[in-house]
Amino acid sequence: MSPLWSAQMIAFFLISLFILACAVMMLSFRKVVYMALAVGGVFIGCAALYILLGAEFVGIAQVVVYAGAITILILFAIMLTNHEATEPEEPWTVRKALAAVGCFLLGVTLLFVIRGQAWPQGDPSVDVNQGMSNTLAIGEALFKSYMIPFELVSLLLTVALVGAVILAQQRKGDQ
Partner 1 sequence: MGGTGAIQIPTGSILALGAILFCIGLYGALTKRNLIMVLVSIELMLNAANVNLVAFSRLGVSPNLNGQIFSLFTITVAAAEIAVGLALLLAVFRVRKTTEVRDLDLHRR
Partner 2 sequence: MVWWIPGFPLIAFAITLLVGRRLAEPVVAGIAVMATLISFVLSTILLLHPGTPGAVTQLDWLTVGQTHIGFGMQTSHLNALMAFVVSLVSTLVLLYSRGYMAGDERFSVYYQYLNLFVFSMLGLVLSANLLELYIFWEMVGLCSYLLVGFWFFKPEAALAAKKSFIVTRIGDTGLFAGIVLLWLASGSFNFDAVFQAAQSPGFGLGWLSGSGLITLVAILVFLGAVGKSAQFPLHVWLPDAMEGPTPVSALIHAATMVAAGVYLVARMFPLFALSHAALTTVAWIGGVTALLAALIALTQRDIKRVIAYSTVSQLGYMMMALGAGAYAYGVFHLFTHAFFKALLFLTAGSVIHALGGEQDLFKMGGLAGKLPITRWTFLAAALALAGIFPLSGFWSKDAILTALLAGGHGILYAVGLITAFCTAFYIFRLYFLAFAGTPRDEALYAHAHEGGWVMTVPQVVLGVLAVMAGWWNTPIGGHPIERYLLGDAGTSFFAGTSAGDIGHVYPENVLWMVISLVVALAGIGLAAWMYGARADQRAAAAASAAGPLYRVSLRKFYLDEIYESSVVRAGKWLARIADGLDRFVIQSIVYLASRMTYAAGWGLRLLQTGQVQTYGVVAALGLFVLIAIAMLRGGVM
Site residues for partner 1, 114-153, by CB under 8 A, read 114-115, 117, 119-131, 134, 137-138, 141-142, 146, 149, 153
Which one among 18, 48, 82, 147 touches partner 1, defined by CB under 8 A?
Answer: 82
Type of residue found at 103: C
Q: How far is residue 10's CA from residue 17's CA, in Å, rounded to a whole number?
A: 11
The three-point CA angle 108-111-109 to 5° equals 40
Closer residue to partner 2 in complex, CB, 95/172:
95
Give dist(CA 127, CA 133) in Å, integer. Answer: 10
C-alpha radius of gyration, the chain, whole number: 21
Residue 135 interacting entry, from partner 1, partner 2, none, C-beta within 5 to 8 Å by type: none
Neighbouring residues of 66: CB distance < 8 A, sequence distance ≥ 6: 43, 46, 47
Query: 58 to 97, contacts with partner 2 by CB under 8 A?
Result: 95
The reply to whether 143 sits near partner 2 by the rule CB under 8 A is: no
Is 87 a residue that touches partner 1 (CB under 8 A)?
A: yes
Q: Which residues are at the interface with partner 2 (CB under 8 A)?
A: 95, 98-99, 102-103, 105-106, 109-110, 112-113, 116
